[in-house]
Amino acid sequence: MKDILSAPFMTKMCETAANMYRLGWDERNGGNISLLLTEEEVAPYLDTTQSIRVIPTGFPAKELAGKLFLVTGTGKYFKNVQSDPANQLGIIRITGDGEAAELLWGWEDGGKFTSELPAHLMSHRARLAVDPENRVIMHSHPTYTLAMNYVHPLDEKQFTHTLWQMCTECIVVFPDGIGVLPWMLCGTNEIGEATAEKMREFRLVVWGMHGIYGAGKTLDEAFGLIETVEKAAQIYMLTAHLPRINTIQDHELRALAESFGVAYRKDFLSE
Protein backbone atom coordinates (compact mmCIF):
# COMPACT_ATOMS: atom_id res chain seq x y z
CA MET A 1 0.00 0.00 0.00
CA LYS A 2 1.01 3.60 -0.51
CA ASP A 3 2.35 5.69 2.36
CA ILE A 4 -0.70 7.25 4.01
CA LEU A 5 1.29 10.36 4.87
CA SER A 6 1.46 11.07 1.15
CA ALA A 7 -2.31 10.87 0.66
CA PRO A 8 -3.77 14.15 -0.66
CA PHE A 9 -6.33 14.30 2.16
CA MET A 10 -3.54 13.89 4.72
CA THR A 11 -1.20 16.51 3.27
CA LYS A 12 -4.10 18.95 2.93
CA MET A 13 -5.19 18.40 6.53
CA CYS A 14 -1.64 19.00 7.76
CA GLU A 15 -1.31 22.12 5.63
CA THR A 16 -4.65 23.47 6.85
CA ALA A 17 -3.85 22.90 10.53
CA ALA A 18 -0.47 24.59 10.06
CA ASN A 19 -2.11 27.61 8.45
CA MET A 20 -4.71 27.87 11.20
CA TYR A 21 -1.97 27.84 13.83
CA ARG A 22 0.14 30.34 11.87
CA LEU A 23 -2.79 32.76 11.73
CA GLY A 24 -3.30 32.51 15.48
CA TRP A 25 -6.68 30.83 15.26
CA ASP A 26 -5.73 27.70 17.20
CA GLU A 27 -3.53 28.38 20.18
CA ARG A 28 -2.25 25.50 22.30
CA ASN A 29 -4.76 22.64 21.84
CA GLY A 30 -7.60 24.94 20.80
CA GLY A 31 -9.65 24.08 17.73
CA ASN A 32 -10.51 20.89 15.89
CA ILE A 33 -11.22 19.61 12.38
CA SER A 34 -13.05 16.59 11.00
CA LEU A 35 -12.97 15.56 7.35
CA LEU A 36 -15.38 13.00 5.92
CA LEU A 37 -13.49 10.53 3.73
CA THR A 38 -14.61 8.00 1.14
CA GLU A 39 -13.54 4.38 0.95
CA GLU A 40 -12.09 5.08 -2.49
CA GLU A 41 -9.84 7.81 -1.11
CA VAL A 42 -8.57 5.73 1.78
CA ALA A 43 -8.28 2.26 0.21
CA PRO A 44 -4.93 2.79 -1.56
CA TYR A 45 -3.33 3.79 1.75
CA LEU A 46 -5.07 1.80 4.48
CA ASP A 47 -6.77 -1.54 5.10
CA THR A 48 -10.08 -0.26 6.42
CA THR A 49 -11.08 -3.72 7.69
CA GLN A 50 -8.40 -3.62 10.39
CA SER A 51 -9.41 -1.85 13.60
CA ILE A 52 -6.77 -0.85 16.15
CA ARG A 53 -9.22 -0.15 18.98
CA VAL A 54 -12.77 1.00 19.59
CA ILE A 55 -13.48 4.32 21.33
CA PRO A 56 -16.96 5.31 22.60
CA THR A 57 -18.06 8.64 21.13
CA GLY A 58 -20.62 9.67 23.76
CA PHE A 59 -23.19 10.37 21.06
CA PRO A 60 -25.42 7.98 19.09
CA ALA A 61 -24.62 8.78 15.45
CA LYS A 62 -26.35 5.86 13.76
CA GLU A 63 -27.03 7.96 10.64
CA LEU A 64 -23.26 8.16 10.16
CA ALA A 65 -22.60 4.45 10.73
CA GLY A 66 -19.79 3.15 8.54
CA LYS A 67 -18.52 6.59 7.58
CA LEU A 68 -14.82 7.41 7.74
CA PHE A 69 -13.40 10.59 9.22
CA LEU A 70 -9.95 12.10 9.54
CA VAL A 71 -10.05 13.94 12.88
CA THR A 72 -7.73 16.01 15.04
CA GLY A 73 -7.02 14.61 18.50
CA THR A 74 -7.92 15.78 21.98
CA GLY A 75 -5.20 17.73 23.74
CA LYS A 76 -3.21 17.96 20.53
CA TYR A 77 -1.52 21.15 19.35
CA PHE A 78 -2.19 22.31 15.79
CA LYS A 79 1.43 23.49 15.58
CA ASN A 80 2.52 19.84 15.75
CA VAL A 81 0.14 18.35 13.17
CA GLN A 82 2.39 18.86 10.16
CA SER A 83 5.52 17.45 11.82
CA ASP A 84 3.85 14.58 13.72
CA PRO A 85 0.55 13.62 12.04
CA ALA A 86 0.55 10.02 13.32
CA ASN A 87 0.15 11.23 16.90
CA GLN A 88 -1.96 14.32 16.25
CA LEU A 89 -4.53 12.86 13.83
CA GLY A 90 -6.65 9.74 13.55
CA ILE A 91 -8.81 8.02 10.96
CA ILE A 92 -11.97 6.57 12.46
CA ARG A 93 -14.99 4.65 11.26
CA ILE A 94 -18.30 5.09 13.06
CA THR A 95 -19.56 1.70 14.25
CA GLY A 96 -22.78 0.13 13.03
CA ASP A 97 -24.73 1.15 16.11
CA GLY A 98 -23.33 4.68 15.92
CA GLU A 99 -22.19 4.57 19.55
CA ALA A 100 -18.43 4.33 19.03
CA ALA A 101 -15.59 4.86 16.61
CA GLU A 102 -13.11 2.27 15.37
CA LEU A 103 -9.61 3.69 15.16
CA LEU A 104 -8.09 2.63 11.85
CA TRP A 105 -4.97 4.77 11.90
CA GLY A 106 -3.25 7.39 14.04
CA TRP A 107 -2.96 8.49 17.69
CA GLU A 108 -0.03 6.16 18.06
CA ASP A 109 0.65 7.60 21.51
CA GLY A 110 -2.68 6.28 22.80
CA GLY A 111 -4.64 9.45 22.19
CA LYS A 112 -8.14 9.80 20.81
CA PHE A 113 -10.38 12.16 18.89
CA THR A 114 -11.19 15.73 19.94
CA SER A 115 -13.59 16.18 22.85
CA GLU A 116 -15.79 18.09 20.40
CA LEU A 117 -16.34 15.01 18.21
CA PRO A 118 -20.01 14.68 19.24
CA ALA A 119 -20.57 18.31 18.14
CA HIS A 120 -18.77 17.56 14.87
CA LEU A 121 -20.84 14.44 14.21
CA MET A 122 -24.06 16.29 14.94
CA SER A 123 -23.02 19.08 12.57
CA HIS A 124 -21.95 16.61 9.86
CA ARG A 125 -25.33 14.94 10.14
CA ALA A 126 -27.11 18.29 9.87
CA ARG A 127 -25.03 19.58 6.96
CA LEU A 128 -25.25 16.32 4.99
CA ALA A 129 -29.04 16.60 5.17
CA VAL A 130 -28.76 20.04 3.55
CA ASP A 131 -25.83 19.38 1.22
CA PRO A 132 -24.72 15.76 0.59
CA GLU A 133 -21.35 17.09 -0.59
CA ASN A 134 -20.52 18.65 2.78
CA ARG A 135 -17.39 16.95 4.13
CA VAL A 136 -15.72 19.31 6.58
CA ILE A 137 -16.47 20.69 10.02
CA MET A 138 -13.87 23.14 11.36
CA HIS A 139 -13.70 24.87 14.73
CA SER A 140 -11.25 27.62 15.67
CA HIS A 141 -10.73 30.72 17.80
CA PRO A 142 -9.96 33.53 15.31
CA THR A 143 -8.80 36.58 17.23
CA TYR A 144 -10.81 39.44 15.75
CA THR A 145 -14.00 37.40 15.41
CA LEU A 146 -13.71 36.56 19.09
CA ALA A 147 -12.93 40.16 20.04
CA MET A 148 -16.00 41.33 18.13
CA ASN A 149 -18.15 39.11 20.37
CA TYR A 150 -17.44 41.45 23.29
CA VAL A 151 -18.40 44.73 21.65
CA HIS A 152 -21.13 43.80 19.17
CA PRO A 153 -24.64 42.43 19.79
CA LEU A 154 -24.72 38.64 19.46
CA ASP A 155 -27.68 38.80 17.11
CA GLU A 156 -27.52 36.83 13.85
CA LYS A 157 -28.99 39.54 11.64
CA GLN A 158 -26.93 42.36 13.14
CA PHE A 159 -23.71 40.34 13.31
CA THR A 160 -24.02 39.18 9.70
CA HIS A 161 -25.04 42.61 8.43
CA THR A 162 -22.07 44.29 10.09
CA LEU A 163 -19.63 41.82 8.54
CA TRP A 164 -21.27 42.08 5.12
CA GLN A 165 -20.56 45.83 5.23
CA MET A 166 -16.87 45.37 6.04
CA CYS A 167 -15.71 43.78 2.76
CA THR A 168 -17.31 43.76 -0.65
CA GLU A 169 -16.75 40.00 -0.97
CA CYS A 170 -18.51 39.02 2.27
CA ILE A 171 -22.11 38.76 1.06
CA VAL A 172 -20.83 36.71 -1.89
CA VAL A 173 -18.72 34.36 0.25
CA PHE A 174 -21.27 33.79 3.03
CA PRO A 175 -24.62 34.94 1.61
CA ASP A 176 -26.43 32.53 3.94
CA GLY A 177 -25.21 34.58 6.90
CA ILE A 178 -23.81 33.56 10.26
CA GLY A 179 -25.60 31.71 13.03
CA VAL A 180 -24.86 32.91 16.56
CA LEU A 181 -25.05 31.07 19.88
CA PRO A 182 -24.67 32.60 23.34
CA TRP A 183 -21.87 31.40 25.57
CA MET A 184 -22.40 27.71 26.33
CA LEU A 185 -20.32 25.07 28.07
CA CYS A 186 -18.06 23.51 25.45
CA GLY A 187 -17.46 19.79 25.05
CA THR A 188 -21.10 18.96 25.79
CA ASN A 189 -23.85 17.42 23.72
CA GLU A 190 -25.98 20.49 24.47
CA ILE A 191 -23.71 22.86 22.56
CA GLY A 192 -23.34 20.24 19.84
CA GLU A 193 -27.09 19.97 19.41
CA ALA A 194 -27.50 23.76 19.36
CA THR A 195 -24.72 24.10 16.77
CA ALA A 196 -26.19 21.37 14.58
CA GLU A 197 -29.58 23.07 14.65
CA LYS A 198 -27.94 26.28 13.40
CA MET A 199 -26.00 24.27 10.78
CA ARG A 200 -29.29 23.40 9.11
CA GLU A 201 -29.49 27.06 8.16
CA PHE A 202 -25.93 28.39 8.21
CA ARG A 203 -22.47 27.14 7.22
CA LEU A 204 -20.93 29.36 9.89
CA VAL A 205 -21.86 29.42 13.57
CA VAL A 206 -20.31 31.73 16.15
CA TRP A 207 -19.94 30.35 19.66
CA GLY A 208 -20.31 33.43 21.85
CA MET A 209 -17.04 34.40 23.60
CA HIS A 210 -15.43 31.20 22.34
CA GLY A 211 -14.91 30.86 18.60
CA ILE A 212 -16.53 29.79 15.36
CA TYR A 213 -17.64 26.64 13.54
CA GLY A 214 -17.43 26.44 9.78
CA ALA A 215 -18.66 23.80 7.33
CA GLY A 216 -17.77 23.16 3.72
CA LYS A 217 -17.32 20.73 0.87
CA THR A 218 -13.55 20.94 1.17
CA LEU A 219 -10.97 22.00 3.73
CA ASP A 220 -10.25 25.05 1.60
CA GLU A 221 -13.91 26.05 1.50
CA ALA A 222 -14.41 25.78 5.27
CA PHE A 223 -11.09 27.54 5.90
CA GLY A 224 -11.99 30.27 3.41
CA LEU A 225 -15.32 30.95 5.07
CA ILE A 226 -13.70 31.46 8.46
CA GLU A 227 -10.84 33.42 6.90
CA THR A 228 -13.27 35.85 5.26
CA VAL A 229 -15.24 36.35 8.48
CA GLU A 230 -12.00 36.96 10.38
CA LYS A 231 -10.82 39.56 7.84
CA ALA A 232 -14.16 41.38 8.08
CA ALA A 233 -14.11 41.22 11.89
CA GLN A 234 -10.58 42.65 11.86
CA ILE A 235 -11.71 45.60 9.75
CA TYR A 236 -14.64 46.12 12.11
CA MET A 237 -12.43 46.08 15.20
CA LEU A 238 -9.96 48.49 13.60
CA THR A 239 -12.70 50.98 12.72
CA ALA A 240 -15.50 50.49 15.27
CA HIS A 241 -14.24 53.32 17.50
CA LEU A 242 -13.94 55.78 14.59
CA PRO A 243 -16.62 57.87 12.87
CA ARG A 244 -18.14 55.93 9.96
CA ILE A 245 -17.78 58.21 6.94
CA ASN A 246 -18.39 55.58 4.26
CA THR A 247 -20.17 52.24 4.20
CA ILE A 248 -21.66 49.73 1.79
CA GLN A 249 -25.39 50.44 1.66
CA ASP A 250 -28.03 47.72 1.74
CA HIS A 251 -29.15 48.39 -1.81
CA GLU A 252 -25.52 47.96 -2.88
CA LEU A 253 -25.22 44.69 -0.97
CA ARG A 254 -28.39 43.49 -2.68
CA ALA A 255 -27.07 44.47 -6.12
CA LEU A 256 -23.79 42.72 -5.38
CA ALA A 257 -25.44 39.46 -4.30
CA GLU A 258 -27.80 39.45 -7.25
CA SER A 259 -24.98 40.23 -9.67
CA PHE A 260 -23.10 37.15 -8.44
CA GLY A 261 -26.28 35.04 -8.39
CA VAL A 262 -25.98 33.92 -4.77
CA ALA A 263 -28.95 33.00 -2.57
CA TYR A 264 -28.60 35.58 0.19
CA ARG A 265 -30.57 36.24 3.35
CA LYS A 266 -32.86 39.01 2.16
CA ASP A 267 -34.27 39.35 5.68
CA PHE A 268 -30.80 40.36 6.92
CA LEU A 269 -31.02 43.55 4.84
CA SER A 270 -33.18 46.42 6.04
CA GLU A 271 -33.78 48.35 2.83
Active site residues: 116
Residue type, 248: I
Please give the radius of gyration of the chain, using alpha carbons only, rounded to the nearest integer: 19
Longest CA span, the chain: 63
Residue type, 99: E
CA atoms within 13 Å, Cβ hemisphere of 244: 10
- What HEC string does 87-133 produce? HHEEEEEECCCCCEEEEEEECCCCCCECCCHHHHHHHHHHHHHHCCC
